[in-house]
Amino acid sequence: MDRMNEQERWIMSFYRYSEITGAMFFARVAACMPAGPIQVNLNKHFADESMHSWYWTKAMDELGYKPIRVANAYQDAYLDAGGLPVNMMEILALTNVFEKRVIKQYAHHMRIPDLNPVIKQTIEKIVDDEKWHVQWINQALKTLAQKYGEDKVNKKIQHYKAADEAIYQKFIQEHKDRLDYMSSTLAPA
Amino acid sequence: MQMQAIKQQLAVFTKIPVERIKDDAEITDLVADSFMLVEMLLLLQDHFSIELEQEDLEEVVTVAQLVNLVRNKIRAAQPV
Ligand SMILES: [Fe+2]
Ligand SMILES: [Fe+2]
């Protein structure tokens, strides 16, 4: 496998695993949410992330790539750096920041010249859902701000944003060799 | 009494018999991963109608510390 394909295989494996991890996280949260609008959206969110992992698996299969086992998902780094969210507001604040990072990353990827059409279509399909994820979470956070206060919600978002910046810079550094085929599109955060 | 009820909830969630949940055990040892820990904390809040925050958990390592925290939250939530 040439270097370009090796890198493509790695990043697709990484996306796939990250989507699986997202699904597992929302499965846990959706399982114990009391009934209500948040539960409904969370369950759809969980189903979406699970489908996204399937889209990547399918795309890799189509391109003849075998997924690589990824040691750590991006989400693990979040919990390490930003701490465990323990109530719904904190969970949604973290997810708000994370989903925006996902959209940014997929946008970087879309800017690779002569991007493989299978990858392009996969990202397009996923990003439609990711945009809805940001939307419903923003809405839910607005509602929760009535209970927690806007200040508290914003502080939590800022807290996770700071963690996100640090994690992303570390991620780029750590995987420099694997990301260099898309380095021209990776603007500093 | 309340402490036993809190430990009972930990037992229900983790499926570890309550008598085997030691006070000095680390809460991370009761669960397989951090996602499961989030679920356990959400269930505790729902069951006892309390609210926890990230900052509350900063000093919590052991079962006894978690039980104490939940007990204090229950007390604080009760009308005087
Ligand atoms: Fe996703
Ligand atoms: Fe998402």
Task: Report which residue type is found at A63.
Answer: L
Cα separation of B33 and A121, whole Å? 34
3-state secondary structure of A132: helix
Structure confidence at residue A186 (pLDDT): 56
Percent of chain A with pLDDT over 90: 72
Q: Which residues are within 8 A (CB) of A93 and not within 5 positions of it... i.e. 6 or more apart?
A: A85, A141, A153, A156, A157, A159, A160
The one-letter amino acid at A164: D
Is B33 one of the catalytic residues?
Answer: yes
| Identified catalytic residue from B23, B29, B33, B56 | B33
CATH-assigned architecture of domain A3-182:
Up-down Bundle (1.20)
Integer Cα distance of A54 and A50 in angstroms: 7
Query: Residue A94 and residue A144: Cα distance in Å, rounded?
Result: 14
Q: Where are the domains positioned within chain A? A: 3-182
CB–CB of B46 and A32 under 8 A? yes
What is the Cα–Cα distance from A174 to B57, expressed in whole angstroms?
30
Q: For an interface test with A, which of B54, B56, B58, B69 has the most A Cβ atoms less than 10 Å from its Cβ?
A: B54
Q: What number of other Cβ atoms are within 10 A of residue A117's Cβ? A: 8
Half-sphere exposure of A9 (CA within 13 A, CB side): 14
Supply the angle between the helices A37-63 and A3-32 in degrees, to the nearest 10: 160
Helix runs in A64-149, H state only: 74-82, 88-110, 117-148
| ipTM computed for the complex | 0.93
What is the 8-class DSSP label of residue B31? S
Which chain B residue's Cα is nearest to A26? B35
Please, which pLDDT band fits residue A184 given cuts at 50, 70 and 90? low
Contacts of A32 (CB under 8 A, 6+ apart): B39, B42, B43, B46
Q: Which residues surround ligand 2, an ion (CB under 5 A)?
A: A 99, 130, 133
Strands (DSSP E) found in chain B: none
Burial class (CB in 10 A: 0-12, 13-18, 19+), A114: exposed
Tens digits of per-residue pLDDT, A99-132? 999 999 999 999 988 899 999 999 999 999 999 9
CATH number, domain B2-74, options 3.40.50.2300, 3.40.640.10, 1.10.1200.10, 3.20.20.70: 1.10.1200.10
Tens digit of each residue's pLDDT, chain B (80 residues): 688 999 999 999 999 999 999 999 999 999 999 999 999 999 999 999 999 999 999 999 999 999 999 999 999 988 76
